[in-house]
Structure 1
Amino acid sequence: MEDLQIYIYTYLAALVGVIPPGLVNMSVAKTCLERGRRNGILMAFGASSIVFFQALLAVLISKFIFSNPYVKNIFLQAGIAILILMFIYFLLSANYKKTQRNIKKRTGTKSFFTGVLVSAINIFPIPYFVLIATLLSNNFKIRFSLYTDLFFALSAALGTLTTLYFYVIFMMRIGGKTELFKRYSNYFMAVLMLILIVVTWFRL
């Protein structure tokens, strides 16, 4: 029964947590539109594999994080630095974007590892899953062990993968109506990074 509780709550939390536009899901959508459904799915798998380790780390340090506000601020400060770098990258990419005809399509392997990289620099799932793990522990009296830690991380990865897959399906369905997004995708990502920087700054 405890395993089922962990799976349901963590899976739903991960699924819902990825729905709002963010670095990972927008990167998957961008890849899907520019390089096709297969590359989008592979990127989603790569991103979700990192979420597994992020969730595992989160459940291991949940009590430590909430008992040490200084450590929590360090995570947020690191996030701001990464977001600023991403903002600059997308802004420069938007101003120096080559035509799609001249861009060599990435192989599936590169799309997978791009998903791994994008998800790895997105540290926001860690405090999110720290909160989920703490709520499960305090409100549902779940005692985390090595087995339940791994089960928690797997549920988080599967929930993330589900939402990212829906993003791929949605983008492929509206493929003919996304020219505006394709043309200004790097500007869109730059604005998204700027919003996340402001939000993170206020959280500090």
Structure 2
Amino acid sequence: MNISLPLLLGLSAAAIGTTPPGLLNMTAAKVSMRDGRNRALWFAFGASIIVFFQTLLAVLFARFIDRRADISVILQEIGLVIFTVLTIYFFWIAKKPKPKKKKEEVKMRTKSSRFFLGMLLSSLNVFPVPYYVFISITLGSYGYFQFDTFFIYTFSFATAIAAFLVFFGYISFFKSKERKDTFLSKNINYVIGSITGVVALITLFKILSR
């Protein structure tokens, strides 16, 4: 079977869905600025693994979820709660970065902790599931997507690769701007909180407009 089509579709879909600034992107940038590029890459790797399973889950249940409108509503309600909690956390609980204490930070923030943080935040981000459900069903209606095992796993693998590359881009960009963008580095929690707040408001609007 031709492997290029599911790879291309997966890379394109993930690039479109992941490139706009979001919780995972900005958190990867934050980890890069505070803990270094290596730990940020571990964060990105952990998040990308979850992206693979989220895509796989979305595609496997695409037709079922598409026929059940109540499932989509439940996903939106769960997302609303999660992003509301995250907004509160980043605005009122998370503290601003303190002056650098490299030795202490290395001890407290290990590579494994960044890896599992990436997995955790990516797991809380439920929006990729309905996104890839929509993508797979839409592509399938035009005959570009096939719901067989090889196609599904290749597509899911491609989305994980694309997500990691996007995270890497954010990590590299913000790391190179670390010394210049002092305002951003000092207020990164508020940036993330603003993003999650906007997503929560959009989700609430969608739920109320039904």
Q: Cα distance, 1:2 vs. partner?
A: 4.3
Percentage of pairs with the same residue = 32
State the SS of the aligned residue for 2:145: coil
Aligned with 1:137 (options 140, 147, 164) = 140
Deviation track 1:118-173 (CA, whole Å, cap 9, x = no partner) reads 10100111111111111221112532122222111101101111111111111122
Give the structure-1-normalised TM-score.
0.93
SS of alignment partner, residue 19 of structure 2: coil
Q: Determine the C-alpha separation between the residues in 2 that align with 1:191 and 1:172.
A: 21
Moved more, 176-185 or 26-35: 176-185
- AA at the equivalent of 2:125: N
| 1:6–1:136 CA contact under 8 A, matched in 2 | no
The equivalent position to 1:123 in structure 2, one of 126, 148, 165, is 126
**Of 134-143 and 178-187, the range deviating more from structure 2:** 134-143
Write the distance in 2 (CA, Å) between the matches of 1:132 and 1:2.
20
Structure 1 residue 99 corresponds to structure 2 residue 102: no
Q: C-alpha displacement at 1:98, in angstroms?
A: 6.0
Distance 1:98 1:167, change over 3 A: closer
CA change 1:116–1:173 in 2 (3 A) is same
Please give the root-mean-square deviation of Cα atoms over the aligned residues, in Å: 1.6
Residue 122 of structure 1 aligns with an amino acid whose one-letter code is N
Query: Is the 1:2–1:142 contact (alpha carbons within 8 Å) kept by the matching residues of 2?
Result: no
Unaligned runs of 5+ in 2: none
**Distance in 2 between the 1:5 and 1:34 partners?**
39
Give the stretch that moved more between structures: 52-61 or 33-42: 33-42
Distance across 2 between alignment mates of 1:74 and 1:139: 28
How far, CA to CA, are the matches of 1:154 and 1:3 in structure 2? 11
Tell me the matched-pair count. 203
Q: Which runs of 5 or more residues in structure 1 are unaligned?
A: none
Q: Within 1, Cα distance between the matches of 2:2 and 2:75?
A: 30
Give me the whole-angstrom Cα distance separating, in 1, the residues matched to 2:9 and 2:149: 18
1:46 and 1:178 mapped to 2: Cα distance?
Answer: 26
Amino acid at match of 1:165: F
What's the offset of the Cα at 1:36? 0.9
State which of 145, 148, 152 in structure 2 corresponds to 1:149.
152
* 2:22 matched residue in structure 1: 22
Query: What's 1:108 paired with?
Result: 111
After TM superposition, what 4+ stretches of structure 1 lie above 6 angstroms from structure 2?
none
After superposition, the Cα gap between the structure-2 partners of 1:62 and 1:180, relative to the gap in structure 1 and judged at 3 Å, is: same
